[in-house]
Structure 1
Amino acid sequence: MSGPFMPPPAETIAADVARALAEDVGSGDVTAALLPDVADIAYLLCKEDAVIAGRPWFDACHRALDPQVRIDWRVGEGDRVAAGTVLATLSGRARALVTAERAALNFLQTLSGTATVTAAYADAVRGTRTRILDTRKTLPGLRLAQKYAVRCGGGLNHRIGLYDAVMLKENHIRAAGSLTAAVRAARAAQPALPLIVEVETLAQLDEALAAGCERILIDDFDAQTRREAVRRAAAAPFDGRIPLEVSGGVDLSSVRDIAEDGVDFISIGGLTKHVRAIDLSMKLGPAPPPL
Structure 2
Amino acid sequence: MKPSYLTEEAISSFIAAAFVEDIGPGDYSSLSSIPDGKRGQAKLIIKDDGIIAGVELAVRIFKTFDPNLEVELFVKDGDKVKYGDIGLVVKGLSASILSSERLVLNCMQRMSGIATLTHRLTEKILHTKARLMDTRKTTPNFRLMEKWAVHIGGGVNHRFALYDMVMLKDNHVDFAGGIRQAIEACKSYLNQNNLDLKIEVETRTLDEVAEVIEVGGVDFIMLDNMDYTTMRKAVEMVGDNYKTEASGGITEETLVPVAECGIDFISMGVLTHSVSSLDISLKAF
TM-score past 0.5 threshold: yes
Opposite residue 224 of structure 2, the aligned amino acid is: D
Q: Aligned residue for 1:147?
A: 147
Structure 1 distance, partners of 2:170, 2:47, is: 45
Q: RMSD of aligned C-alpha atoms?
A: 1.5
Q: Aligned residue for 2:34?
A: 35
- Equivalent residue pairs, number: 277
* Percent identity of equivalent pairs: 36
CA contact (8 A) 2:220 2:245 kept: yes
CA contact (8 A) 1:139 1:273 kept: yes
Q: Aligned residue for 1:241?
A: 241
Task: Tell me whether 58-67 or 126-135 shows the greater mean CA deviation.
Answer: 58-67
Q: Aligned residue for 2:230?
A: 225
Q: Aligned residue for 1:197?
A: 201
CA contact (8 A) 1:115 1:149 kept: yes
> 1:1-291, aligned counterparts within 5 Å?
4-6=1-3, 8-33=6-31, 34-36=33-35, 37-191=37-191, 192-212=196-216, 213-234=218-239, 240-285=240-285
Structure 2 distance, partners of 1:134, 1:59, is: 25
> How much does 1:205 deviate?
0.5
Task: Tell me whether 271-280 or 182-191 shows the greater mean CA deviation.
Answer: 182-191
In structure 1, the gaps of 5 or more residues are 235-239, 286-291
CA contact (8 A) 2:56 2:76 kept: no
CA contact (8 A) 1:5 1:77 kept: no
TM-score by length of 1: 0.90
> How much does 1:55 deviate?
2.2
In structure 2, the gaps of 5 or more residues are none
Opposite residue 220 of structure 2, the aligned amino acid is: R
Structure 2 distance, partners of 1:5, 1:165, is: 19
CA contact (8 A) 1:17 1:57 kept: no
> How much does 1:156 deviate?
0.7
Structure 2 distance, partners of 1:200, 1:106, is: 38
Structure 2 distance, partners of 1:65, 1:176, is: 49
TM-score by length of 2: 0.92
Structure 1 distance, partners of 2:234, 2:51, is: 34
Task: Tell me whether 156-165 or 28-37 shows the greater mean CA deviation.
Answer: 28-37
Opposite residue 194 of structure 1, the aligned amino acid is: K
> How much does 1:74 deviate?
1.1
For the residue of structure 2 that corresponds to 1:31, the secondary structure is helix
Structure 2 distance, partners of 1:20, 1:177, is: 43
